[in-house]
A and B are shown apart, each in its own frame.
Chain A
Amino acid sequence: MSVATKSIEEVQNDIIDDFDLLDGDRESTIFYIMELGQELPAIDETHMVDENLIKGCQSKVWLTTDFVDGHVIFNADSNTDITKGLISLLIRVLNGRTPLEIMNADLFFFEKIGMNGVIGSQRSNGFASMIKQMKFYALAYSAKN
C-alpha cells in the first residue's frame, strides 16, 4: 500500500465526477455502488469478528486497520454489496493518509453525489457511523504516535 498521491479533496472530486456520469439514475447508481463493493477485496474471515463490527450499521460492516510508516491503512468487508461499496468509497478517500489528515478530513462527496436520497436514512446513518469509526482509529493512532 503506497501513500496517497492525490489530496482528499481531489479524490472526492474524482468520485463526484464518476457519479456524474451516471446522470442521477437511481438504478445505475446502486448497480455502480454494488460493483465497487464486489471489487473491494474480502478481508480474512478471522477478522470478521464482533469487535471489528461498526456499530450503528444496519448491515454488518467489519473494519480493520494497519498503521504503516505513519499512515493508516483500512480494510473492510460487509455482508451486503451496497454497504461494502459505500465503505469502499471511504477507503478510496482516506486510505494511506496520516491520522491528522483523516481526523481533519471534510467529507463532502456523499452529499454532493446525492447519496442520502438514494440509500435512505438508515443506511445514511450507517455511513456516518463508518466515518466516525475511521476517524476514531485515526485518533487512536495519533495518540500512539
Chain B
Amino acid sequence: MIDIEQLRSEFPILATEVNGHPLTYFDNGATNQKPQSVIDALSGYYKGYNSNVHRGAHALADKATQAFEHTRELLKEFVNAPKTEQIIFTKGTTEGINLVANTYGRANLQAGDEVIVSTMEHHSNIVPWQIVAQEKGATVRNIPISDEGEIIFEEFEKMLSDKVKIVSIVHASNALGTVNPVERIIEKAHEIGAVVLIDGAQSAAHLPIDVQALNCDFFVTSAHKMFGPTGMGFLYGKEDILNDMPPFMGGGEMIKEVSFDGTTFNTLPYKFEAGTPNIADTVAYAKAIEFINRYGKENIAAREKELLDYATKKLIEEVPTAKIIGTSSNKVSVLSFIIENIHNYDIGMMLDARGIAVRTGHHCTQPLMARYGLEGTVRASFSVYNTFEEIDNFIEALKRIVKMFG
C-alpha cells in the first residue's frame, strides 16, 4: 500500500493553486508532474558537475559520464533489455519512431511494401511512416477498431502478407486508454517476417514492460510521461537489427573515425547518439525511474486502476449525458468522454476555472476522432498522486456545468 499523502508531498506542484483553487491535475496523459528528486537532480548536475560526457579526461567529465550511463543501466533493468547498449537515448517517443522510420524504414522498405499501424495511433506513429513510405512507394495501412476502441484482431490478421515489413503499434492509447494485445500482434507479425515497434509513451509508467518477453523489435517511450524530464526518452531495439541499421544523424559521439575518404561509425548505443546529448535531463531521468521503483510499478498501477474505476462509475451514474469514448475492459487510467450539447473546449475551460486541468480536443489522434465522428473529447487521465476527493470535485464540477448548459 502506498502512503498517498507522503507520495503527494514529493511533488511540490501539487500544493499550488490555480485560479484560486487547489490544483487538480488530470492531464497526466500529456505529461505528468515531477517529484522533487527529479527537479533536484537537474540543478544538481548544473551546480555540481556540469561537463560533457565521454570526452574530457577530467574529474567532472568522469562524474557526468558515470551519472549519464547510470540512467542507461537503470533503463536496461526497467524494461529487461538483454544489454545496456540496446538502450539508445532520444528526445522522446516521437524521435524514437522517427529514428526507426528513417533508418530501418528507409533501408528496408521498397515500392509495394506495407507498414501497418492502427486507427488509434498518435500522429507521431503515423506521420514518420507516411513520410518514408511516400519516398519509397510503400503504403501505410491502418487496422480498424471497434466501437469500444479495440483493435479488430481478425482484420489485422487479414492484412498480414509478405508485403508487410513493419508493424508499429501503440501499447496503450492516449485518447482511449485501451491496452492493445501487443504480445499477440508481435507474434502474428513475426510469422510473416515483419518487425514490430511498440509505442510505449502511455505504457512505460503504467504497465510492466519486459521487452524480451514481449519479443518486440523496437520499444520507444518518453521520460516526461514517467515522472521524468521533458525532451528525453529512449529507444530499445534488438541488437542485430540495431547493428544493421544505418545511422540516423551524423556528428559527435556516433563517429569512430572520420576522413574525407569515408567515415566509420561508433558501436551501439553511440552510433545513434549524435552530438552532445541532453545530459542534465538524462541524469534526472534516473531519479524518475528510482521513484517508480521505490513505490513499485504494480502498486502504482493498482492505484491508478482504482482511480479510473471510481471515476468511470461516478461519471456514468452522475452525469448521464456524458458518453465515454473508449470502453475497453483493459485500459490504462484514461477517461475520455463527450457531453451532449456542450463543446469539449468549453468544458475544459469551465473546469480550469475551478483549478481542474484536463485535456480537450483531438489528442493528436485525428484519424481516431474521425473514426468516431468527433471533433474531440474531454480527457481526464489519472496518475498515482491523484485522489478520490479530486475525482469527487471533478464530477461535481461537471454536474454543475451540465445543469447550466446541458
Contacts and interface: CB of A to CB of B under 8 A. Distances in A.
A34 B345 contact: no
A38 B375 CA distance: 20
Given A34-B404, A81-B405, A27 B345 contact: no
Contacts of B63: none
A79 B350 contact: no
Nearest to B361: A58
Interface residues of B, number: 13
Given A31-B350, A31-B404, A81-B405, A26 B345 contact: no
Nearest to B397: A27
Interface residues of A, number: 17
B20 A34 contact: no
Contacts, number: 37
A129 interface: no
A53 B405 CA distance: 25
Contacts of B354: 27
B263 interface: no
A81 B353 contact: no
Contacts of B19: 26
Interface string B187-215: 00000000000000000000000000000
A81 B342 contact: yes
A80 B345 contact: yes
Contacts of A80: 343, 345-346
Interface in A25-72: 26-27, 29-31, 34, 38, 58-59
A130 interface: no
Given A26-B20, A31-B404, A34-B404, A82 B353 contact: no
Contacts of B405: 34, 38, 81
B30 to A, nearest CB: 15
Interface of B: 19-20, 342-343, 345-346, 349-350, 353-354, 375, 404-405
21 contacts: A26-B20, A26-B353, A27-B350, A27-B353, A27-B354, A29-B353, A30-B349, A30-B350, A30-B353, A34-B346, A79-B343, A80-B343, A80-B345, A81-B342, A81-B343, A82-B343, A82-B346, A82-B349, A118-B353, A119-B349, A120-B349
Interface of A: 26-27, 29-31, 34, 38, 58-59, 79-83, 118-120
Given A29-B353, A34-B346, A34-B350, 20 more contacts: A26-B19, A26-B353, A30-B353, A31-B350, A31-B404, A34-B405, A58-B345, A59-B345, A79-B375, A80-B343, A80-B345, A80-B346, A81-B342, A81-B346, A81-B405, A82-B345, A82-B346, A83-B345, A118-B353, A119-B349
